[in-house]
Amino acid sequence: MKRVSGHPFLGVSAVLRHELRLLFFAPLTYLFQAAFLLALNAFVFLVANFYGSDEATLRLLLVFLPWVSLVLVPALSMAAWTDSHTSREIELLYSLPVSPTAVVLGKFAAGYLLLLLTLFMTLPFAFTVAYLGEPDKGVMLASYLAAALFLGASFAVTLFAGTFVREPVGAFVTGAGALFVLMLCGWDVFGRLVSDLLPQWAWETLVVYSPLTWSQVVGQGLVPTQALIYSLLTIAGSLLLAHWVMGERRRGGLSGLLRADRLSAFAAVMLVWLAGIPLSERIPGQIDLTEEQEFTLHAGTREVLERLPEDTMLTLYWSATEDTVPASIKSHARRTQSLIREMAKVSGLDWQVVDPEPDSEPEIQALSQRIHKVPMSSGDHFFLGLTVEQGGRIGRIPYLDIRRESLLEYDLVQALNGLSRQSTPKIAIVSPLLPSSAALAEREGLSFMAELKRAYDVAVVPFFKTEIPSGIDVVILMGADILHEDMLYSIDQFVMAGGSLIAMIDPFSRVKRANNVTNPSPSDEI
C-alpha cells in the first residue's frame, strides 16, 4: 500500500485507537494491572507496614512504585516493536497510511494511558490515608503527579531501549536494564557506595538524570521547573531516538545508525539531554502545592539570603543510616534538607550533609561542634543539627527539634543572619504586663519572649518610666494603654530619629485583666 504523505503527525489518533483496542481486548493487560496493583499494595501494607508507620502521606506509594515499575513497565513495552516470524504486526502497521512519527507517538500514548489508568486504581489507598489521618491534600496531589511523571519517563525510556531488539524477551531485558541504570543514579544507597570513588560534584550531577530523584522531589509537594523539563526532555528524546532506530530497522537493519549523519544526530540529542537537565536548574519558577506553602520562602528570608557572603558553609549533621529513627523525625529531616536546598538556590550558600555514624570521625566532629546526641527508647541515638560558618564565625543549632517544625525557616534564617550581623540589635519592650525580671526569666503565656532573647538583646522597660534607654534599635509597646507624658515624648522623638516602633494594642487583655477596666482619657496635648 502506498504511504500517504503529509504532516508527520498524521494518523496519531488512528494509531492510538488501534493500540488501545489491542491493549483492552488482550487478557494479558488485565493480568498486568492486577500484578501491578497487587505488588504495590503488598509492599506498602505488608513489607513497609503502613498501618504502623504513623504517617498520613503517600510517601510509601512513591517509595515502592519505582521498583514495581522496574519490572512491569518494561513488561508492558516489550511487545511494542515485536518483529519476528510469528508476528508481523510492525510490518503491517508501517504499511498503513500513517506517518512513522504517528506510530511511535500512538504507541507511547496508548501505553501511557494504560499506566495512568492503573495508577488511578490506587486511589483507595489515598482515601484510606485521608480517612485515618489529616494529610496535606496538596502533597497528595503532588504525589500522584510525581508518579505520573515517573511512569511517563520510564515508559518512554523502555520503548526506546526495546527498539534495538526484535524479540520480546530481549526487549524486556534491555528496557529493564536501561531503566535500572537511570534509577541507580538517584538511589541514595548507590550514592553512598560510590562516594569514595567519585567526587561529590560528580555524584550530585548524576542524581539529576534519575527519574527516581524527581519523583521524590515532586512527591514532597514541590514542582520545580527542572522536574518538568527533565520529564519533557526524557520523553521527547526517547521517542525521537526510537523513531530513528525504527526507521533504520525498516530499511533492513541497524547498520545505518553507524553513518556519520546519524551518529551526529544521536550525539546532538544526547548532548541536549545531558546539558539541558543540569542547566534547567537556572530557570526560575516552581509550584508549591503544599497547603502551608512550605517551600515558598518569605520575603524577609530572601532579603537575608541575598546579603549572605559567598563563602558561607552550612553543615547538616543527620543520622540518615540509622534505621531506628522514628518516621516523623525522618520526615522532618527530609523537610529540612529540602528547605536548605531551596535557600542555596537564591544565595551563595554552600552546604553538605554529614552522617555521624557510631564510632566514626563524623560523630567526633559532630560532638566537637556541640551537636546534640539525641537518645531513643531503643537505646540507640541520632543526630539532627547543623552549623553555619563564615570567615571564622560559627553559628549552630544543636538540635532541630520536630516540635519547632513550623518555625524551621525562622530558625535557619536566624542562624544565617547571625553571621552577617556586626552587632546584636537591641530591643526595648514597654509593657505593664511584664516585670523587668522578664528579660531574664520566662513567663507562662509569653513564649515569644524566649524567641526574642534567642536572637536579640532584650530590655524590659517599666511602663511608668519617662524615657527610652539610649542605644535601642526597636521599641515594642505591648498593652501599654497608660504611659507617662514624658515617655510618649521620648517614643515620639525615637521614631522621628528613624527608630522602629511596634505597637501591640488589644482591647481585651487575657494576661492582665485589671487593665480592661481602664478608662482612656487622652491629655489635652493629644
Residues 435 and 404 reside in one and the same domain = no
pLDDT one-digit tens code per residue, 259-271: 888 889 989 999 9
Residues 321 and 464 reside in one and the same domain = no
Task: State mean pLDDT over 399-414.
Answer: 87
The helix or strand, by DSSP H or E, that contains position 384, with its residue range, turns out to be strand 384-390
Residue 96 has pLDDT above 50, yes or no: yes
- The number of distinct structural domains making up the chain is 3
Residue 4 has pLDDT above 50, yes or no: no
pLDDT one-digit tens code per residue, 332-352: 888 898 889 888 888 878 999
Calculate the CA 382 to chain-centre distance: 23
Residues 49 and 173 reside in one and the same domain = yes
Residue 448 has pLDDT above 90, yes or no: no
Residue 143 has pLDDT above 80, yes or no: yes
Q: Is residue 522 part of a domain?
A: no
Residues of the domain holding 347? 307-420
Q: Is residue 298 part of a domain?
A: no
All three cell numbers of 138: 496538596
Q: Is residue 245 part of a domain?
A: yes
Name the residue with higher pLDDT: 431 or 244. 244
Residue 293's SS3 state is coil
pLDDT confidence of residue 400: 93
Q: Is residue 207 part of a domain?
A: yes
Q: Is residue 99 part of a domain?
A: yes
Residues 37 and 97 reside in one and the same domain = yes
Residue 119 has pLDDT above 70, yes or no: yes
Name the residue with higher pLDDT: 481 or 371. 371
pLDDT confidence of residue 2: 44
Q: At a CB cut-off of 8 Å and minimum separation 6, what does 84 contact?
A: 166, 167
Ramachandran assignment for 484, one of left (phi > 0), alpha (psi -120 to 50 degrees), beta (any other):
beta
Q: Is residue 312 part of a domain?
A: yes
All three cell numbers of 67: 521498583
Residues 147 and 226 reside in one and the same domain = yes
C-alpha 297/C-alpha 67 separation (Å) is 33
Residues 400 and 439 reside in one and the same domain = no
Residues 317 and 278 reside in one and the same domain = no
Please, which pLDDT band fits residue 69 given cuts at 50, 70 and 90?
Answer: very high
Residues 430 and 411 reside in one and the same domain = no
Please, which pLDDT band fits residue 443 given cuts at 50, 70 and 90?
Answer: low
Handedness of CA 453, 343, 303, 419 (dihedral sign): positive
Residues 453 and 325 reside in one and the same domain = no
All three cell numbers of 214: 524527581
Residues 352 and 224 reside in one and the same domain = no
By percentage, how much of the chain surpasses pLDDT 70?
88
Pinpoint the alpha helices (H) of 186-311: 188-194, 200-207, 211-219, 225-250, 260-279, 299-306
Please work out, in degrees rounded to the nearest 5, the angle formed at the alpha carbon of residue 37 by the alpha carbons of 33 and 39: 115
Residues 448 and 415 reside in one and the same domain = no
CATH number, domain of 377, equals: 3.40.30.10
pLDDT confidence of residue 268: 93
Residues 387 and 480 reside in one and the same domain = no
Q: Is residue 302 part of a domain?
A: no
End-to-end CA distance of the chain: 97
Mean per-residue pLDDT of the chain: 84
